[in-house]
Amino acid sequence: MSSTSTNVLSNIFFDSEYYLTEKTKALNASGTQDTVWTNETTAEAITNAGMTPWQHFIKHGAYETNASGEVGIDPGALFSVSDYYNALAAAENISVSAAVAEVRGAGGPIAHYAEQGYQENILPTTVVSDDRAQFSSRLDLFKSFYFDADEYLANKTAALNSIHYQGQEWTPEMTAEAIANAGMTVQQHFMRCGAFEKDANGDIGIDPSQYFDVSRYFSEKSELVGLSVEETANAFKAVHIDPLTHYAKFGVAEQLTVRATSLDPVSVTEDTNVIPRSGNSLIDSVLVREDMWPQLNRIAADDGIVRYHMLTDSEIAANTENQFENMTQLNSNQESAFETGFSVLSKMTGIEFAETDTYEDAHIRIATASLSNNTGLTFYGFGWGNSALTVVLDNSAKTPENVDPTFGKEGFQTVCHELGHALGLEHPFETETEGDGLTHVQLPKSLETTAMTIMSYDRGNTVTNADGEAVAPWCVDGTYYYSPTDILALQYLYGTDGINGEEGIVYDTTVLA
């Protein structure tokens, strides 16, 4: 993937109101002026200087003295700038002032963390607390993750220049000014106008960021409803709903897929299972770290089909090696859940999954068993003939949700989680395995929730849905599904065109022959 997670993390870590409050506290604590500052007067001063609060933070605030006398005014509740400088100085054995200079050169603390600090697990705060990145709705999460004003302005500007609009050469600054003069924010312009306009390539839909391909979303929805792409876009516009909002409110339940616009292939020229790091801190936090974990891109390279097998009771009875307690075949609801899971993953990645009648031919085998401390378990090498990935759902009384884990029910998150492991995803809290030679990235605890990745164990604070059931904040309307980080990581691994296609990780087939 051609760029980093800076934009996503900026949307999550930066809160303008929080920053204005912290900047106001710093001004009043400095005692350099007789004025008593308020958030309003601070905001006005920043505007008069020709900047937004975000621009002020990355140009000035991140390096100014805060109200406590430390370097760095915090951009939001989840990022302590002074803590970050101290951690960076300690990790690199440099002075704090040198750390500040390094961060400034990288474009600010958030950019430095996203681009470099994550590699050394220098976290945005050393404060241990229960603070988490919470989202009031799935739309709230998706706006933070998928919309970036700068990227949208660049895309809109390219569209204007592709048709020589008004006979002039547009810049993002001119585009932003025109949007403001029309009485809209940049995000409102996308939702009301840009999502239905032609982009620079002539496709319908100007993308809100590199992580959301609007034209492909319209295309997938058009196939579902039997309309043309243009008719689908017009239908969205007629009911005043943009693709991003539609995806949050309806598309997830319809198993539609968000696809990134940039999926640069990653070439692998040796026979290895080690997954190359992407350079994107979100993606790398959930990539499998073990160098012996089988990559489906490699082990299914012969014909590009990933085969799975639901183990039967007779097969289990005939093969007692490495069995768990009360190991049995799936019930019909569980089989349906895994079929749906494979269907979902196929749409996200383009992988062709096919069921095989024999476990010897399978890349993924599935059963249930009594697991002492787990709702599910995925592992490699079961001892039955050739080694394969094995997924086991817990069937004990402690996990009643696993009896019927079909789409839309709580147990489906376990199915998604375990299939995520099978496809090469790991927990975002795992630490380094000594001597494995890989870069290990942990998400900071504030982001390590299922809102960011289904590979997390932390579902955050529960809320109550319309049926009075307690669900995690990301599980709006009780739909349990892959989170944005998971989708990005899966598309990094496989692109959207399947095993060893032109996207994702591509093995040189000559070394696998």
- Within 8 A by CB and 6+ apart from 111, the residues are 6, 10, 58
Kindly state whether residues 176 and 84 are assigned to the same domain. Answer: no
Q: Exposed e or buried b for every residue in 350-363, given b needs 16+ CB within 10 A?
A: bbebeebeebeebb
Is 151 in contact with 207 (CB distance < 8 Å)? yes
Q: Residue 39 domain-assigned?
A: yes
Kindly state whether residues 380 and 501 are assigned to the same domain. Answer: yes
For the chain, percent helix, then strand, then coil, each to nearest 5? 45, 10, 45
**Tokens 């309307």 belong to residue:** 477
pLDDT value at residue 476: 46
Kindly state whether residues 205 and 311 are assigned to the same domain. Answer: no
The last residue of one of the domains, among 65, 94, 120, is 120
pLDDT value at residue 24: 97
Kindly state whether residues 164 and 291 are assigned to the same domain. Answer: no
pTM attached to this predicted model: 0.89
Kindly state whether residues 280 and 213 are assigned to the same domain. Answer: no
Q: Residue 257 domain-assigned?
A: no
- Segment holding 20, helix H or strand E: helix 16-30
Q: Of the candidates 292, 300, 299, which has an alpha carbon nearest to the alpha carbon of residue 275?
A: 292
Percent of the chain exceeding pLDDT 90 equals 60
Torsion angle, CA of 467/473/479/481, rounded to 10 degrees? -160
Kindly state whether residues 297 and 409 are assigned to the same domain. Answer: yes
Average pLDDT over residues 373-391: 82
Kindly state whether residues 334 and 444 are assigned to the same domain. Answer: yes
Q: Which two tokens stand for residue 130?
A: 């229960």
Phi, psi of 456 (to 5 degrees): -75, 160
Query: What is the pairing mode between strands 352-355 and 505-507?
Result: unpaired
Helix axes 6-13, 138-146, angle to 10 degrees: 130
Query: What are the pLDDT digits (tens) for 162-199?
Result: 999 999 999 999 999 999 999 999 999 999 999 999 99
Kindly state whether residues 85 and 151 are assigned to the same domain. Answer: no
Q: Residue 340 domain-assigned?
A: yes
Helix axes 172-181, 149-162, angle to 10 degrees: 100
pLDDT value at residue 290: 64
Q: Residue 80 domain-assigned?
A: yes
Kindly state whether residues 86 and 215 are assigned to the same domain. Answer: no
Q: Residue 128 domain-assigned?
A: no
Kindly state whether residues 188 and 55 are assigned to the same domain. Answer: no
Query: What are the pLDDT digits (tens) for 63-105?
Result: 999 999 999 999 998 899 999 999 999 999 999 999 999 999 9
pLDDT value at residue 401: 94
Q: SS3 for 293?
A: coil
- Number of domains composing the chain: 3
pLDDT value at residue 501: 86
Percent of the chain exceeding pLDDT 70 equals 90
- Cα separation of 264 and 332, whole Å? 39
Q: Which two tokens stand for residue 418?
A: 């375990």
Kindly state whether residues 426 and 315 are assigned to the same domain. Answer: yes
pLDDT at residue 2 tops 50:
no
- Cα separation of 166 and 184, whole Å? 20
- Cα separation of 384 and 498, whole Å? 27
Q: Residue 24 domain-assigned?
A: yes
Task: Give the CA diameter of the chain.
Answer: 85
Q: Residue 126 domain-assigned?
A: no
Kindly state whether residues 432 and 292 are assigned to the same domain. Answer: yes
pLDDT at residue 1 tops 80:
no
Phi, psi of 427 (to 5 degrees): -65, 140
- Segment holding 231, helix H or strand E: helix 229-238
pLDDT value at residue 298: 85
Q: Of the candidates 486, 369, 479, which has an alpha carbon nearest to the alpha carbon of residue 426?
A: 486
Query: What are the pLDDT digits (tens) for 428-469?
Result: 887 665 555 555 678 888 888 888 899 988 765 555 555 666
- H helices of 322-411, where? 332-349
Q: SS3 for 29?
A: helix
The last residue of one of the domains, among 120, 155, 185, is 120
Average pLDDT over residues 322-331: 88
**CATH number (domain holding residue 379):** 3.40.390.10
Residue 87 domain boundaries: 6-120
pLDDT value at residue 430: 76
- Cα separation of 378 and 476, whole Å? 27
Q: Residue 268 domain-assigned?
A: no
